[in-house]
Amino acid sequence: MSEHRYELVVGLEVHVQLLTQTKLFCGCRNQFGAPPNTLTCPVCLGLPGTLPVMNQQAFQLALKAAVALNCEIAPVTKWDRKNYFYPDLPKGYQISQYDLPFSRNGYLEISDPRGRFGPKRVGIIRVHLEEDAGKSLHDETAGQADSRIDLNRAGTPLLEIVTRPDIRSPEEAKAFLTELKLLLTYLEVSDCNMQEGSLRVDANVNLHIHTPEGTVATPIVEVKNMNSFRAVERALAYEAQRQYHQWLSTGHRLGQVPKQTRGWDDQAQITRPQRQKEESSDYRYFPDPDLVPVTVSPEQIEQVRQSLGELPATIRERIQKQYGITPYDADVIVSQGRAVVEYFEKVAQVSGNGKQAANWVQRDVLRTLKERQWTMEQFPLSAEQLGQFVARIAQGRLASSRAREVFDHMLRTQQDVDTAIEALGIQTVDEDTLQELCRRLVEANPKVVQQVRQGKTKALGALVGQAKRENPNVDPRRVQEICRQLIEQAEA
Amino acid sequence: MALTRAEVEKVALLARLELEPQELELLTAQLARVVEYVDQLAQLDTQGVEPLAHAVELTNVFRPDQVQPSLPRQKALQQAPRTDGEFFRVPAVLEP
């Protein structure tokens, strides 16, 4: 059978939980991990005679997200009932938005700092605000025929973000999700914690297969149950292969079979069929009579826009230019959040050397934060202190070979760089002393000189070792350089 | 506007109602009359009339994001046919 060229076509449906104090329609606390069924009230239990009232902060956060995603904001929006039966949905319907979502037609720009794909815009069809369902726990142990229901999550605010089918590879899908998560965490709209379910992703996937007779689209499959960005990447890669082989064996095209839902099995690394998706009219949407429409004025949208602050994409570009760092460095720093960006900027300004500041922040500061599980705020050295430290290295007044030692000492004692250098007995060796030392070493080691002349430059290491024993303050790189020059000069 | 028996069967299924054949017969006729009644609206010329999302002329009813006490768990579970004191218990929901 001949191989065909094909294109993967993916649209994502992302649900994120909003960082509000309370649920969407009642005053119960919006909190993960509380003991089961301790955060409920008559409203979110769906008891008769209760009235939902919209949480202002939830709508505000939703607006923020939509404006940051470049969406058009509807002047009037309303909420609808989506009717279906499931035990974790106490009312028998979900309050969601159907034909008048509060926002549409946005986009998010993605790029790859490693350049595996070019920068592109992923279109956003709509963003809407709805309530979450509770949690069902299915007892897997034998003899347990029941499912257990926890309604703490029922009625918590959820943002649904639906993209256009603009994504063309698993890497692009991951880049989109990473950028979306970064944006929403910068905005403090959501913590996007996948382990706690505050970010959930489904994907609509099919292929455009290029055949001699023209392009063929395969039936669209909705892939669910992907519990990490990694799982999304793998599930999409698997699904592309599967659909291609399915098409080879059945020839089924888009429209010839009903839309299928498949779940990602992370253990087996495959997707498996799930229930057939109901047609959307089966949800019998109708406007919720308990909730009144919400209007948004252009002034309000402008206010929201003003409140966004500098967003990740803008910061990345700015710090690259301003501090002369690479796109990759800028990406690493920005992806750590606002606090790290601010810290880096201060270090870069104080030290006057963006590149070195980026190196130290990325390598040593971030590694320390990770090892000790500190936040940036808990890091014991101020940006001022680290900036002066980096300045000394950049000005050649602290040998890079001893810099790590000084950094560790500063971290331990919170001393300034000068105090730390003094405490460690590090002295800057002046150029004359260094030259003199190297000359003596070259004279005293004819064997090494011989080896170097034969091209074994590694032999210089022996001289560096001796130099360090005589004076621990020498910069080994300088010693190596000077010795090499002396040997070469003698040769000439 | 005629309503078919199959349509009523589908609506009943979506509402999780189990109907006897004679009930289905009866309800098909009754529902058809309800739909016919509402269908009178179709005679009106609604060109240029703004769709109405809500019968009450109110907009922007919000509450502040302030925590109110929740029900004690015991009380929340009180009305449930089956609980284990922590969770609502329901017949196993089989993941197909």
A 10 A CB-CB count for A53 gives: 16
A431-491 CATH fold: Arc Repressor Mutant, subunit A (1.10.10)
What confidence score (pLDDT) does residue A142 get?
53
To the nearest whole Å, the CA of B79 is away from the closest chain A CA by 10
Continuous segment of H or E residues that includes residue A17: strand A5-17
Residue A450, token pair as written in the block: 């011989």
CB half-sphere exposure, A24, CA atoms < 13 A: 24
Phi then psi for residue A318, to 5 deg, are: -65, -50
Mutate to test the interface with A, among B38, B67, B74, B75 (most CBs of A within 10 A): B67
Query: Is residue B72 within 8 Å of A42, Cβ to Cβ?
Result: no
To the nearest whole Å, the CA of B25 is away from the closest chain A CA by 22
Spans of chain A, pLDDT less than 50: 1, 277
Query: Is residue A232 within 8 Å of A170, Cβ to Cβ?
Result: yes
B70 and A39: CB-CB below 8 Å?
A: yes
Going by C-alpha positions, the residue among A413, A377, A421, A374 that lies closest to residue A397 is: A421
What confidence score (pLDDT) does residue A487 get?
86
| Angle at A129 (CA atoms; ends A125, A134), nearest 5 degrees | 120
Continuous segment of H or E residues that includes residue A478: helix A476-491
Query: Is residue A78 within 8 Å of A291, Cβ to Cβ?
Result: yes
Residues 64-103 of A with CB under 8 A from B: 76, 78, 83, 85-87, 100
Residues of A in contact with B60 (CB under 8 A): 292, 294-295
Q: Where are the domains of chain A?
A: 5-213+273-299, 310-423, 431-491
A39 near B CB under 8 A: yes
A45 and B63: CB-CB below 8 Å?
A: no
Predicted ipTM of the assembly: 0.90
CB half-sphere exposure, A384, CA atoms < 13 A: 3
B21 near A CB under 8 A: no
Which long-range contacts (C-beta less than 8 Å, at least 24 apart) are formed by A361-368? A361/A333, A361/A386, A362/A329, A362/A332, A362/A333, A364/A404, A364/A407, A365/A340, A366/A332, A366/A336, A366/A340, A368/A411
B92 near A CB under 8 A: yes
A22 and B60: CB-CB below 8 Å?
A: no
A485 near B CB under 8 A: no
Residues 264-303 of A with CB under 8 A from B: 274-275, 282, 284, 287, 289, 291-295
B70 near A CB under 8 A: yes
Across the interface, of A37, A53, A282, the residue whose CB is closest to B76 is A37
B53 and A145: CB-CB below 8 Å?
A: no
At A46, which amino acid appears? Answer: G
State the maximum Cα–Cα separation within chain A, in Å, rounded to a whole number.
99
Phi then psi for residue A376, to 5 deg, are: -55, -35
Query: What is the dihedral sign for C-alpha A313, A314, A319, A325?
Result: positive
Residue A27, token pair as written in the block: 């005053």
What confidence score (pLDDT) does residue A114 get?
77
A28 near B CB under 8 A: yes
What's the CA gap between A161 and A125, in Å, rounded?
8
Query: Is residue A157 within 8 Å of A55, Cβ to Cβ?
Result: yes
Length of chain A: 492
Residues of A in contact with B91 (CB under 8 A): 145-147
Phi then psi for residue A3, to 5 deg, are: -80, 140
Chain B residue with CA closest to A290: the answer is B54
Query: What average pLDDT does the segment B24-47 reach?
Result: 92
Residue B96 pLDDT > 50: no
What's the CA gap between A391 and A383, in Å, rounded?
12
| Angle at A94 (CA atoms; ends A91, A100), nearest 5 degrees | 140
What's the CA gap between A476 and A438, in Å, rounded?
11
What's the CA gap between B54 and A233, in Å, rounded?
43
CA distances from A426 to A189, A398, A483 (A): 48, 9, 22
